[in-house]
Chains A and B, each alone.
Chain A
């Protein structure tokens, strides 16, 4: 019995419909079929429908913490809803042996006119506790939510943070065998988040099985023993969380490129394209369409990209690995001393670092009108994990002063990932030694 998986998902598929009007039509026909007891297994996709989940199978063992990752719209939330039994699969079978607690939306089911205390009672019973069980947990819930006097006030006067605190406090004290969490921890202040994770660790230590949907890969690596990667309604891979996170990074790099995975050769070719005039890189990167751009355009930046040393286009960078920042530039006039520069900012706009060909004493020499160059900055990425923005520019140090030809602000977004923890933006790269004095 204990060797059986606590959750077993076999070949589960779920349809969704894009059109609201058709949804109503399909709703009626589905209901009619259900009432007549007609099996719906065989039905394929009808007009405007798509698979939100397509033939998903996996098992979860007792006490495991499974991270569910994948890009937006991959089907993660749908999967959680199916596991919680809120909707039924259209194909396949889900078997669950244990009491399920779920936090699909923080504060779901709190009544705005009731006080916090009244809501604890009714929400607890809704989530399957008996009233004696609630009484036993009542003080713990109030202590965890830490709302002070607001606990006696109506929930409609709560701030969104307070709402979240109460919702999480109730859900986490259900002590289920299986706990489903959907992205919910992304809210609340840092202190409360820390408390939530401490509580989840406590649950895990007590043998609760946790399934956890998130976009934060660091959380998956830190908390989950296993992970499952969903993309476009299908399971791409599952296994040890580190391997799955690596796979996801790889997937993100391929975003926007032709779909087949594991064919990096094609991208290598386009990076060193023989047709520099064509915008071959653009489709490889998540660029900023509204990027601010100014300059005389006497020399123009055609494209910008970040590549691995092997020539693969990347947007998720490993900390401390080497990458190539490449700028493709076309000179529309004769250019005796062109300069190409880049700057990296954080999303708040603080300039973190940057350099240019002049600072690096890398003269490009005299350029004639019509020349196209690719400038490559070989960079070790010392930034700590996070989101960053790359700006690039083409300038000239003309006799009458410094001229901007083409400056593209925040042209490219990229992400840095890494396992080790550091404070701040940069890895200080400290070397630590101990001397025992006495």
Chain B
């Protein structure tokens, strides 16, 4: 493959030493072998060699996103604001009584929804990434992992944009987050890792069955209501299951805890969710690497 190999003596802007050894590639039904490397060593090397590509793809997606649009990034902010406004109205008018939250409901719901949308956005972007790139996947050879990873860029950027109204709402309601909030970015990082893990698997599934993206859209709609984003984490059976079976719930609850009270009320669930996220991300990455040459033609 062409991308990892620098046969010239140039060095790249990062100052990374350029590979000058001759390239030896082997393609067989058992997989790809490059300069004797396969499996994990090849996977790590491919990503390390292509980090500039990932960055360029992210920049491309962000710069292209709203080029043919007038309102631009207002579209990133408007839907969650409307959803929260609707739920605040339903809550206030007692149609859907949500109960007490530790911080004002609008701030609580807007934060929860932002975390949810970070996860949901990453998941759908990763799942669609390969099919959306069509000819690139079938006609150009490069590590396709870069497409899935780069798909995270747009939703993460959108999340940062959405933080502006979140901060505005916190200021408006006079909510001062606990200092524990400094750990929130770390949790959000693991949330994107969780989405990436699912995304590796689902992007491959989407290549083979286009049903995947439809099913995902449905699952995300349902998932939003089965994650404690618009209501506080339930404590009674059977609604309690929502906290246990949904791998995202511990993260959402933990960030809400950190903002409101500064410690995590159910650390054991958070640890389990983190372990699950790491396992899924690396397992999904490996599964992706092994199967992509088999299914690339389906794009």
Contacts and interface: CB of A to CB of B under 8 A. Distances in A.
Given A85-B27, A118-B60, A132 B291 contact: no
The B contact surface, by secondary structure, is mixed
Contact of A125 (B10, B11, B52): B52
Contact of A111 (B60, B296, B297): B60
Nearest to B59: A122
B24 A97 contact: yes
Interface in A81-113: 81-82, 84-102, 104-105, 108-109, 111, 113
Contact of A113 (B68, B142, B298): B68
Contact of A85 (B25, B139, B290): B25
B60 A177 contact: no
A84 B135 contact: no
Counting chain B residues whose Cβ lies within 8 A of the other chain, the interface size class is 35 or more
B204 interface: yes
B91 interface: no
B18 interface: yes
Contact of B293 (A87, A100, A101, A114): A87
B171 interface: no
B236 interface: no
A200 B1 CA distance: 21
Interface stretch (A35-43, A342-350, A429-437): A35-43
A126 B52 contact: no
Given A84-B141, A132-B11, A127 B2 contact: yes
Contacts of B293: 85-88
Given A133-B10, A174-B2, A88 B23 contact: no
Contacts of B31: 88
A130 interface: yes
Given A93-B27, A99-B7, A31 B2 contact: no
Contacts of B25: 85, 95-97, 100
Contacts of A239: none
A24 interface: yes
A113 B27 CA distance: 35
A23 B52 CA distance: 35
A197 to B, nearest CB: 22
A99 B23 contact: yes
B83 interface: no
B29 A88 contact: yes
Given A85-B27, A85-B32, A109 B139 contact: yes
Interface string B24-52: 11111111100000000000000000001
Contacts of B136: 108-109, 126
Nearest to A177: B7
A259 B54 CA distance: 51
A389 B150 CA distance: 54
B94 interface: no
Contacts of B209: 24
B5 interface: yes
Nearest to B146: A126
Given A86-B297, A100-B2, A122-B57, A95 B24 contact: yes
Nearest to A1: B22
A386 interface: no
B1 A85 contact: yes
A126 B140 contact: yes
A108 B296 CA distance: 15
Contact of A108 (B12, B53, B63, B139): B139
Contacts of A84: 141
Contact of B298 (A23, A91, A126, A128): A23
A126 B143 CA distance: 9
A89 B29 contact: yes
Contact of A88 (B27, B64, B67): B27
Interface in A382-438: none
B141 A100 contact: yes
B6 A95 contact: no
Contact of A86 (B7, B23, B141): B141
B100 interface: no
Interface of A: 1, 23-24, 27-28, 30-31, 34-35, 39-41, 81-82, 84-102, 104-105, 108-109, 111, 113-114, 118, 121-122, 125-128, 130-133, 136, 154, 174, 176-177
Given A27-B294, A34-B294, A99-B23, 7 more contacts: A39-B30, A94-B28, A96-B23, A98-B23, A105-B135, A111-B60, A121-B56
| 4 closest cross-chain pairs (CB), A and B | A128-B3, A128-B2, A108-B139, A130-B12
24 contacts: A1-B22, A23-B298, A27-B294, A85-B1, A87-B293, A88-B32, A91-B29, A94-B26, A94-B27, A95-B26, A97-B22, A97-B25, A98-B23, A108-B138, A111-B64, A122-B56, A122-B60, A125-B52, A128-B1, A130-B18, A133-B8, A136-B10, A176-B2, A177-B7
Interface of B: 1-8, 10-13, 18, 22-32, 52-53, 56-57, 60, 63-64, 67-68, 133, 135-136, 138-142, 204, 207-209, 287, 290-291, 293-298
